[in-house]
Amino acid sequence: MATIEPSRTDPFLPSGRPFTIDDLLEFPDDGNRYELFNGSLLVSPAPTVLHQLAISNVMFALRSAAPPDLVALTAVNLRVSEKDYYIPDVVVVPRSALRIRQLMFAPQDMLLAVEVGSPSTKMLDEDLKAKAYEKAKVPVYWRIELDEGPVLYVHELNGDTYEPPVAHKAGTTVKLTKPFPVSIDPSQFVE
């Protein structure tokens, strides 16, 4: 990893060390999404309208099917370690994990993490995020690729690793059972 040396006037870059969650809490609210992978800073621009529509439609589908003890949320902070921090587009957590003024969730709170792909995040979502959620033992990871139709890729944890993802194409209703029963046609993500 290349270390970025900060200028004397830049209070947001650490000097000669990996980024930490404490560093991120000092960043300005500038519309970018800041995440950490092993102390390396990942920056994504604000999502497009199509990306936001897909997130809203995923949320609606999950909230409509969720049992009362589970809740779907969007853009929550997931703290895996001091140097690993992610912001999934959508998650499902137990209601019992919700706390007033909660800033972060732990991996054991996650029953499902969802990432909606975009041109700027496709490689991260397909590779890095899948490995990160697998390592954090998130039981189910959905990756939605809008530019493919859309296609819903479902990764399920089997022991310590994800099974190869199962692809579900637009135009076909799929009945998923984890984290709870839900029927989804990936085409509804962009309607």
**Is there a contact between 86 and 141 (Cβ–Cβ < 8 Å)?**
no
pLDDT of res. 5: 41
The mean pLDDT values, 10 residues at a time, for the chain of 191 residues are 39 68 81 81 80 94 97 91 88 91 88 86 72 93 92 96 96 96 95 88
pLDDT of res. 2: 34
- CATH topology (fold) of 47-190: tt1808, chain A (3.90.1570)
pLDDT of res. 75: 85
Domain limits of the chain?
47-190
pLDDT of res. 110: 95
Angstrom distance (rounded) from CA 162 to CA 181: 20
Rounded to two decimals, the pTM is 0.82
pLDDT of res. 3: 36
Q: Apex CA 152: angle with CA 32 and CA 187, to 5°?
A: 95
pLDDT of res. 119: 66
pLDDT of res. 6: 43
pLDDT of res. 123: 65
pLDDT of res. 9: 42
- Please classify residue 71 by burial: count the beta carbons closer than 10 Å to its beta carbon, then call 0-12 exposed, 13-18 middle and 19+ buried: middle
**Is there a contact between 144 and 117 (Cβ–Cβ < 8 Å)?**
yes
For residue 181, cis peptide bond before it (omega within 30 degrees of 0):
no
